[in-house]
Amino acid sequence: MTGGSLKSDSEKLKKKSKKTSPADSPYLTIDYAGLANRVIRIPIESDNISGLEITDGYVIYLTRGAFFYGRKSDKKSGLHIFSLKDRKTSLLVDGVSGYAFSLDGKKVLLRQNKSYHVMDVKPKAKDKKSISTKSMMVDRIPAQEWAAIFREVWRRYRDFFYVKNMHGNDWKAIGDQYSGWLKHVAHRSDLNYVLGEMVAELSAGHCYIQGGDFEIPERPRVGLPGARFALDENTGRYRIMQIFQGDNQEARYRAPLTEVGIDLNVNDYVLAIDGEELRANDNPYRLLRYKTDPITLTVNGTPTLAGARKVTYRPVFSEAKLLYHAWISHNRKKVDQMTEGRVGYIHLPDMGGDGIYEFIKWYYPQIRKEALIIDVRSNGGGNVSQMIIERLDTKLLGTRFGNAGNEPITYPYSVFYGHLVCLINETSASDGDIFPHYFRESGLGPLIGKRTWGGVVGISGRGPLIDGGLVYVPLRGTNNIKGEWIIEGHGVDPDIEVENDPQSILQGRDPQLERGISEVLKKIEQNPRRLPKRPADPVKTK
């Protein structure tokens, strides 16, 4: 199309617009002046509302339960319909995880778990029809799809990376360089490798490339007993050498061999698993492979089948939580013993659901200790550090005494009045970097251990890629009160550097924890913080 024709079209449009009155215009004109005063609230109940849509005569919206760290919401999601004519709202369907309207707005496609349904958009609609996806197929050329995914990832970083200068890199040149490797990509995992190498050029934390349209075989499930086996070479039999205690009041820390009714002890011989004899030339974990619930062990205090008994247990399929529980329990006991009960210990495994769970569980029972050791070594990050800092930084303002005893009630109620230290190491990461930085900035206490990981540019999802793969773009950097970039690429330096050297670890020691104990004991000695004793009763007769 030539420039002249563009001018001609423009003149035609001007002439047409002069002949057309505003009433005939298909465009909606909004008078913004005083708009807020002309808005009327739709009479629906307050809720966690999202997915607002307007159809002919109706307002459709989704409600969800409140978000909780570490557990699901206590309320089902629901799709609601509000009639503009009747001014009434009603539930269209519950348990909805997503929905989409037809072009005319008269039908809605619903996703409930893994099923899809179609129903009419009207109050009290009942004819919900299931949609089968079994016959849905798609023809695609993988190489073309991979090229499209490559371009999409490159654009997302171009458009959303937290600084416009891309850390000084020529992002177009980097894209051109790595796009040359697409001709060598023969599998979706190859593409992830190329993408990972490309975004790594930015030298930023949280540049994550994950997933995609390829299958990874499931690992065999192993019915674990929460114990450790050891071969007794003299008898050619395996024995139970350790039983993890866990905490059976919490499902996450359930220890199978400590449940009620389990008659099994350390040093017992395991002679058979589900009736299959176990000898030195075999492996107990081979016999536990593919096992589910229940599993029966033939055990005895001697290496013979005579007089053996059978023990049945409900397995776990990962012992990670039991190992973690054993470690923090050992640390807490060590702190308690070395300080004669004066100092408490809290480990935060991350700054998400597990971390806030552990903090709440252990902060309040230890709130009247004279000191607390906050351990964020190997903290996996998240986004709750500010909640914990806010709680730890609460100041004691006063106390109250009543007639029920001589122990004071603090104001605020849940304030800790004592000394604090924080343990850090090389794998304290992300929000596990940010926490110790602001712990120190708040003046809560010293940092002890090794410099942290140093990755604090936060991420959020921008939706999946075309084949379900994921890409995370660093969106927000961390700054100090002056606006200077901090932590990223360096980490947080400790105030007191302590190495957990291999020799000490093999000896069962933890030099970082031991230094933390010595530091808080020193602080208690120099500046004891104890709540006041009950004062004399006031006399008001004079």
The predicted model scores a pTM of 0.87
d(CA 240, CA 149) in angstroms, rounded, equals 51
**Confidence at 24, pLDDT banded by 50, 70, 90:** low
d(CA 349, CA 295) in angstroms, rounded, equals 31
> 3-class SS at 311?
strand
- When pLDDT is averaged across residues 286-312 and rounded to a whole number, the result is 96
d(CA 511, CA 349) in angstroms, rounded, equals 19
Burial zone of 211 (CB within 10 Å; 0-12 exposed, 13-18 middle, 19+ buried):
middle
pLDDT in tens, 192-233: 999 999 999 999 999 999 999 998 888 899 999 999 999 999
pLDDT at 10: 45
Question: What is the SS3 string spanning 318-348?
Answer: CCHHHHHHHHHHHHHHHHHHHCCCCEEEEEC
- When pLDDT is averaged across residues 474-487 and rounded to a whole number, the result is 96
Q: Strands of 7-131 (E only): list them.
A: 48-55, 58-64, 78-83, 88-94, 98-101, 107-112, 115-120, 129-131
* Other beta carbons less than 10 A from residue 366's beta carbon: 18
pLDDT in tens, 327-368: 999 999 999 999 999 999 999 999 999 999 999 999 999 999
DSSP letter at 106? Answer: S
DSSP letter at 105? Answer: S
d(CA 300, CA 264) in angstroms, rounded, equals 9
Looking only at the bridges linking them, the beta strands covering 237-243 and 227-232 are antiparallel
d(CA 476, CA 487) in angstroms, rounded, equals 13
What mean pLDDT value characterizes the chain?
92
* Other beta carbons less than 10 A from residue 41's beta carbon: 5
Structure tokens at 367: 């709130």
- Asked if the peptide bond before residue 142 counts as cis, ω within 30 degrees of 0, the response is no
pLDDT in tens, 242-288: 999 999 999 999 999 999 999 999 999 999 999 999 999 999 999 99
**Confidence at 6, pLDDT banded by 50, 70, 90:** very low
- Asked if the peptide bond before residue 535 counts as cis, ω within 30 degrees of 0, the response is no
Contact criterion met (CB below 8 Å) for 373 and 344:
yes
Q: What residues contact 340, with CB distance under 8 A and at least 6 apart?
A: none
Question: CA 508 from chain center: how many Å?
Answer: 31
Contact criterion met (CB below 8 Å) for 295 and 311:
no
Looking only at the bridges linking them, the beta strands covering 58-64 and 78-83 are antiparallel
**Confidence at 13, pLDDT banded by 50, 70, 90:** very low
d(CA 205, CA 197) in angstroms, rounded, equals 13
Say what percent of the chain tops pLDDT 90: 79
Structure tokens at 105: 């707005």
pLDDT in tens, 222-250: 999 999 999 999 999 999 999 999 999 99
**Confidence at 513, pLDDT banded by 50, 70, 90:** very high
Contact criterion met (CB below 8 Å) for 351 and 438:
no
Contact criterion met (CB below 8 Å) for 157 and 457:
no
Q: Among candidates 398, 390, 474, 478, which has minimal Cα distance to 434?
A: 478
Q: Does position 19 have pLDDT exceeding 70, yes or no?
A: no
Q: Among candidates 271, 529, 256, which has minimal Cα distance to 417?
A: 529
